[in-house]
Amino acid sequence: MNKLIEAHPSEFAGYKENKRFTRRMTIWDATMIFPNADICQVWEWSNGLDNYYCEWKADDEKDAQADFHKAEGILDQCLGSQWTRHKNPTTSGGEHTRFSKEGSKTIVSLRYFKDEYWQTALYIGDKSNLNTPIQ
């Protein structure tokens, strides 16, 4: 986990393969650091910012919550006391935990929420990319 976070300034070099282009971003398949994730990708936005993203689909809210708490425990162990935790609810009834570190532009965001289905999502990247509403 820490090596992945350290790779953020270098655009996650070494963690991406199979480059594809979309209208708004370039996407690579990414090395899965959470083995039970359904998909992990590196996104390069048109503004030049990059982030690492993983998603777990769940059958229901209970499963999404369990995935979230398991990943949250892993993050707690890996990040240590240098990282500050901020927690808040999502609009769909889930939870969102954001880890930040003094002096670092990189944040780690973990949330579970319902969009079309219940899911858990991990985001590692620039804080400014999280200025969109949270489901």
> How many whole angstroms separate alpha carbon 25 and alpha carbon 135?
21
Instruction: Report whether pLDDT(135) > 90.
Output: no
Helix (H) or strand (E) holding 78: helix 61-79
Q: How far apart are the first and last CA of the chain?
A: 25
pLDDT in tens, 35-85: 789 999 999 987 778 999 999 999 999 999 999 999 999 999 999 899 999
Instruction: Report whether pLDDT(29) > 70.
Output: yes
Please report whether residue 135 resides in a domain. no
Structural domain boundaries enclosing 7: 2-130
Please report whether residue 33 resides in a domain. yes
Q: Using 50, 70 and 90 to split pLDDT, how confident is the model at 134?
A: very low
pLDDT in tens, 9-24: 999 999 999 999 988 8
**Structurally, how many domains does the chain consist of?**
1
Please report whether residue 117 resides in a domain. yes
One-letter identity of residue 88 = N
Lookup: tokens for 88? 């808040």
For all residues of the chain together, what is the average pLDDT?
A: 90
> How many whole angstroms separate alpha carbon 93 and alpha carbon 62?
11
pTM reported for the whole predicted model: 0.89
Residue 117: count of CB within 10 angstroms of its CB: 11
Helix (H) or strand (E) holding 57: strand 50-57
pLDDT in tens, 91-118: 989 999 999 999 988 999 999 999 999 9
The answer to whether 119 and 64 have CB atoms below 8 angstroms apart is yes
pLDDT of residue 131: 53
pLDDT of residue 132: 46
pLDDT of residue 23: 84
pLDDT of residue 45: 84
